[in-house]
C-alpha cells in the first residue's frame, strides 16, 4: 500500500497480510490519533459496499466479510495505539488442507480435490499455466515458484478488503477533524461513459450511489452500463472502465512542493496504481489540460462576493474551474480534490487466453478461476479508501496531534490564519 512504498517518514503506517483462500486477512494501521469515533458496524458497511456491484462473480454471493477489530479501539473510540483488524475467510474450511501453513501428508492433499465449479482445476492441483494479465508468470519467475498458487493467492484483489477496512478509519478521521467528505463513482464502464455535462456527485448523493447497481449518478447511463455488462456476460468477456474519487472540504496546504515524496498528487497516484487492475491515474482534467493552450488550461483566481467554506481556508477567493483537480504544485489548493483511475478488464476471462505450461513449455490456455464480469464498481469503493488513507496521512502531517481534539485545534488555528489572509480586510 502507499504507506510502505512511497514516503520515508509517514504519520500513518499500514500493512495488510493474508491470502485469498487463507484463514483470514489481517490489517494493521498505526499513527491514528485517539478519539476517532467508529464501530465495527462502520467497517462492515464499508465491506458490504466493496462486495456489491452489477457484474460481480459467484464468490460475492456466498462470501461474507466477518470483521473483528482486535486492538486500538475501546467503546467506539480509537486509543491512539495501533489498530488491528481481522477479516475471516468463510471458505477456509474448504481450503485449510491446500492452504495449510504447516506441511500436510501427501495423502491428505490427494483427497482434497474439490473445485469451485466444473471449469476450475482441482484445489490440490499444481498450477503451471500462468494467466496473461495476472501476476502469475512474473511472480513465479521472481520467487522461483513452480506453482502459481503461491503467487495468485496474495496478488488477488481479495486483499483489498483489508484496505477498505483501514480506509473506514481514515474516512472517519477526516470527517470528524476537518469535515472532509469523499465520494466515488463510475464514469465509464466498457463502451459506456458518463456525459461531460452530467452533474458531479456530491456528499449528499452517497446513499443514491451506494444503491445504484453500477455506482453511477445518471439513471440513463447506469442502465446502459448494466446492458453492456449483460452483453459481456453473454459473449464470455470482461469489461474495464474508469472510476473517479472526489474529496470535498480539503483545506488548502496539504502536501508540499519541497520534496518528491511529499507531493500530494504523487502520493495519491501511487496509492491508486497499487490497486489490482489499475493501470493509469488522472489528477483533475489532466488529459484535457494537455490538449489546451496554456491560456485556457489553468484555474484563475478571483475575489468573490461570499466567503468560501470555512474548512477550506480560501476566504474570499473563488475559482470558476477546477482543471487542476484541487492540487497545484503537489499541494491541495482548497478546491475539491478529483482523481480518476483506469481499471483494465479482468484478465481471467471465461474464454481462457493462450499461455504456456511453464512445466514443459507446451501451448495451453490460462487456468480458470471464478471471476467477475467487471470489477469496476468495487474498484471505486476501494479507491475511495485509498484516497482517504493518503489524505488522512497528509492531514496528520499538517496538524500533528495525539487526539482528535488536538488535531482539530491545530487545524482550525491554521485555517483561521489563512482565511483571514484571504479575506483582504
68 annotated as a binding-site residue: no
56 annotated as a binding-site residue: yes
Going by C-alpha positions, the residue among 313, 327, 320 that lies closest to residue 413 is: 313
CA dihedral 189, 195, 200, 205 (to 10 degrees): -60
Q: Which letter does DSSP use for residue 20 in this model?
A: T
How far is Cα 299 from Cα 326, in angstroms, rounded to an integer?
10
155 annotated as a binding-site residue: yes
Query: Measured in whole angstroms, how far is the alpha carbon of residue 226 from the centre of its chain?
Result: 22
346 annotated as a binding-site residue: yes
Alpha carbon of 394 to those of 107, 177, 304, 419: distances in Å?
Answer: 53, 13, 28, 20
345 annotated as a binding-site residue: yes
344 annotated as a binding-site residue: yes
Return the H-helix or E-strand segment holding 397: helix 376-399
Angle between helices 40-51 and 376-399 in degrees, nearest 10: 140
Give the burial string for 94-104 (b: 16+ CB within 10 Å, else e): bbbbbbeeeee
Q: What is the chain's Cα-based Rg?
A: 23
337 annotated as a binding-site residue: no
**Contact partners, residue 191, CB within 8 Å, separation at least 6:** 228
Return the H-helix or E-strand segment holding 417: helix 404-421
CA dihedral 273, 279, 283, 285 (to 10 degrees): -170
370 annotated as a binding-site residue: yes
How far is Cα 370 from Cα 392, in angstroms, rounded to an integer?
35
Binding residues: 50, 56, 154-156, 276-277, 329, 344-348, 370
Binding residues for NADP(+): 50, 56
Binding residues for FMN: 154-156, 276-277, 329, 344-348, 370
Amino acid at each position: 500500500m502507499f504507506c510502505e512504498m512511497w514516503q520515508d517518514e509517514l504519520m500513518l503506517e499500514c500493512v495488510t497480510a493474508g491470502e485469498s483462500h487463507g484463514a483470514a486477512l489481517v490489517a494493521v494501521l498505526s499513527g491514528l490519533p485517539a478519539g476517532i469515533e467508529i464501530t465495527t458496524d462502520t467497517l462492515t458497511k464499508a465491506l458490504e459496499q466493496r462486495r456489491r456491484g452489477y457484474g460481480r462473480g459467484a464468490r460475492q454471493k456466498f462470501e461474507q466479510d466477518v470483521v473483528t477489530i482486535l486492538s486500538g479501539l475501546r467503546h467506539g473510540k480509537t486509543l491512539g495505539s495501533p489498530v488491528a483488524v481481522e477479516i475471516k475467510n468463510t471458505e477456509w474450511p474448504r481450503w485449510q488442507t491446500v492452504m495449510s501453513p504447516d506441511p500436510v501428508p501427501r495423502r491428505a492433499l490427494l483427497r482434497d480435490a474439490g473445485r469451485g465449479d466444473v471449469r476450475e482445476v482441482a484445489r490440490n492441483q499444481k498450477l503451471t499455466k500462468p494467466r496473461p494479465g495476472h501476476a502469475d508468470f512474473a511472480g513465479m519467475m521472481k520467487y522461483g515458484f513452480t506453482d502459481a498458487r503461491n503467487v495468485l493467492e496474495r496478488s488477488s484483489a481479495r486483499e483489498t478488503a483489508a484496505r477498505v477496512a483501514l480506509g473506514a478509519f481514515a474516512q472517519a478521521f477526516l470527517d470528524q477533524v476537518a469535515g472532509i467528505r469523499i465520494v466515488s463513482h463510475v464514469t465509464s464502464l466498457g463502451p459506456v461513459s458518463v456525459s461531460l455535462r452530467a452533474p458531479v456527485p456530491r456528499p449528499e448523493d452517497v446513499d443514491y450511489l451506494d444503491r445504484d447497481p453500477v455506482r453511477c449518478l445518471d439513471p440513463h447511463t447506469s442502465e446502459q452500463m448494466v446492458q453492456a455488462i449483460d452483453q459481456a456476460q453473454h459473449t464470455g468477456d470482461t469489461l474495464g472502465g474508469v472510476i473517479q474519487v472526489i474529496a470535498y472540504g480539503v483545506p488548502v496546504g496539504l502536501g508540499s512542493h519541497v520534496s518528491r515524496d511529499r507531493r500530494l498528487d504523487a502520493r495519491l497516484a501511487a496509492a491508486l496504481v497499487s490497486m489490482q487492475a489499475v493501470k493509469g491515474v488522472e489528477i483533475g482534467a489532466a488529459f484535457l489540460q494537455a490538449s489546451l493552450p496554456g491560456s485556457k488550461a489553468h484555474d484563475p483566481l478571483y475575489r468573490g462576493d461570499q466567503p468560501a467554506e470555512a474548512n477550506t481556508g480560501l476566504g474570499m477567493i473563488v475559482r470558476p474551474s477546477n482543471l487542476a483537480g484541487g492540487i497545484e504544485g503537489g499541494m491541495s489548493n482548497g478546491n475539491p480534490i478529483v482523481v480518476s483511475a483506469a481499471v483494465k478488464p479482468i484478465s481471467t476471462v471465461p474464454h481462457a487466453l493462450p499461455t504456456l505450461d511453464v512445466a514443459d513449455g507446451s501451448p495451453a490456455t490460462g487456468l480458470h478461476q471464478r471471476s467477475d464480469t467487471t470489477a469496476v464498481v468495487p474498484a471505486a469503493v476501494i479507491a475511495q479508501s485509498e484516497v482517504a488513507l493518503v489524505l488522512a496521512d497528509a492531514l496528520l502531517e499538517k496538524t500533528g496531534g495525539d487526539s482528535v481534539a488536538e488535531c482539530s485545534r491545530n487545524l482550525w488555528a491554521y485555517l483561521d490564519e489563512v482565511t483571514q489572509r484571504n479575506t483582504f480586510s
